[in-house]
Structure 1
Amino acid sequence: MRKLLLKEEGRLLRVGGYTPFSATEYPGLLSAVVFVQGCPWRCGYCHNTHLQQRTRDNPNAWKGIVTRLERRAGMLDAVVFCGGEATMDPALGEAMAQVRAMGFKIGLETACIYPARLKSVLPLVDWVGFDVKTTFERYADVTGVAGSGGPVHDGVAAILASGVDYECRTTVHPAHLSPAMLVELAQTLSFMGVRNYALQEFRATGCADETLVARAFPGYPQEDVVAEIAPLFDNFSVRRPGQATG
């Protein structure tokens, strides 16, 4: 009986938030965004700390989200699943298949924490935005979880092997990535086969870690570092607060 109950509970996606319309979350398309509860990491610069815990409280029932999406079929192009960490939820694949059957394209934003589950849902996905936070051997410095870099490496490899459209991106803070470490990371990703890469300058807004806020400074990484990294990728951009992507 207990196994049956757990199976029933696992069928419905645990949703922590929902945005009915976004022009930026899925490149070039209009999308709705589903924020899935839960993340095992505690990155200091996280802007979605309210989604880190997986609780029994489900403020946005999945059945209600499905009803809203059914009403918007033909008005939106895509649905993006993010978090938290969307692949933490065992119901993600079923939810994606349900939405895909409505005619929506599927986007996924992930930190590649769970490579096996990521591999299982990639056939349902049209576009992936994935984070690589630092060099794989130094991951615990950012996430607070020992050994977290190994699964990320496997997740990145799975995305690249799948052939799905993607963007790889790194949020850059001087406390976590020195210029030399950032170049090393970029070289590693390029060697793995990453062709689409974006650097995102740290944004203090919404960051609860006052130490990180105090140690950040505008314009990092500097342009000489950016110039060294840019030739490694076919498509490269830098995103800075208050500036257009470039």
Structure 2
Amino acid sequence: MPIAVSSGQSLRVGGLTPLTTIDFPGRLAAVVYCQGCPWRCSYCHNPELLDAAAPTATSWSQVLAFLESRRGLLDGVVFSGGEPTLQAALPAALAQVRAMGFATGLHTGGMYPERLAAVLPLLDWVGLDIKGPKHHYDAITGVPGSGVRAWESLGLLVASGVPHECRTTWHSGLFSAETLCELVTALSDQGVVCWALQECRGPSGAHWTVTSQQAIRWAAQFATFALRRQ
């Protein structure tokens, strides 16, 4: 049975990927998709997970039973979403998975810095979405003040020493290429060592304008850098 949490609730699970080689660097992992997200980004790739009150695809107890059957076969479990830190049951779920012998990973937008800080000691790796400079966040997420919270989470993550990747999904309709260059400098100055730039398929007229010269310059600013094209 799931570990009890103060809310008396178990993790609400919107989906499960039984095996991935790309969502948790260096590990064979399962992905648990957590139901619910407070942001409404136009390029969200899991819109069915946005509604926190939507019926769940499976129960947490069923997920635990699956993980029990994969002991010795999987290295880790990634909690993705949706937004995992939206749920009060996340710390208990992480603790339980670690007790089963799995490494733990988290995909997050960083919208709840205090909740991220609370679970960092329970994590082996974090993938943090940095959607843009602070002043562009409101337009991207539809939520006022979201940029301040995300960048606070970034500071907490970097200071924690937990291995991580920051990634930015971008097309020229979100903000300019010049602003993207400014974002690269800001991330490097913040102490980010691993950054990935992901192509976003935006509305008509929005396109990818990254040059090979820019990519070379950016690669020199991070220990690990990746361009991910659709």
Taking structure 2 as the reference length, the TM-score comes to 0.94
Alignment partner, residue 233 of structure 1: 222
Would the aligned equivalents of 1:172 and 1:220 in 2 still touch at CA under 8 Å?
no
Q: Which runs of 4+ in 1 moved over 3 A?
A: none
* Helix, strand or coil at the partner of 2:91: helix
Alignment partner, residue 223 of structure 1: 212
**Structure 1, unaligned runs of 5 or more:** 1-5, 205-211, 242-246
Alignment partner, residue 203 of structure 2: 213
The CA distance in 1 between the partners of 2:206 and 2:45, in whole Å, is 16
Alignment partner, residue 126 of structure 2: 128
TM-superposed deviation, 1:56: 5.6
Match runs of 1:186-205 below 5 Å: 186-202=184-200, 204=201
Residue-by-residue CA offset, 1:147-198 (whole Å, 9 max, x unaligned): 1101111100111111111111111110112111001111111111001111
CA RMSD of aligned residues (A): 1.3
User: Closer, same or farther in 2 for the Cα pair 1:41/1:56, shift >3 Å?
Assistant: closer
Residue-by-residue CA offset, 1:208-231 (whole Å, 9 max, x unaligned): xxxx331233x4322233233222
Match runs of 1:85-164 below 5 Å: 85-164=83-162
Match of 1:78 among 50, 73, 76: 76
The CA distance in 1 between the partners of 2:193 and 2:119, in whole Å, is 22
The number of residues matched between the two structures is 225
Q: Which amino acid is the alignment partner of residue 240 of structure 1? A: R
Percent identity between matched residues is 45
Match of 1:35 among 29, 33, 36: 33
Which one has a larger percent helix, Structure 1 or Structure 2? 1
Alignment partner, residue 209 of structure 1: none
Taking structure 1 as the reference length, the TM-score comes to 0.88
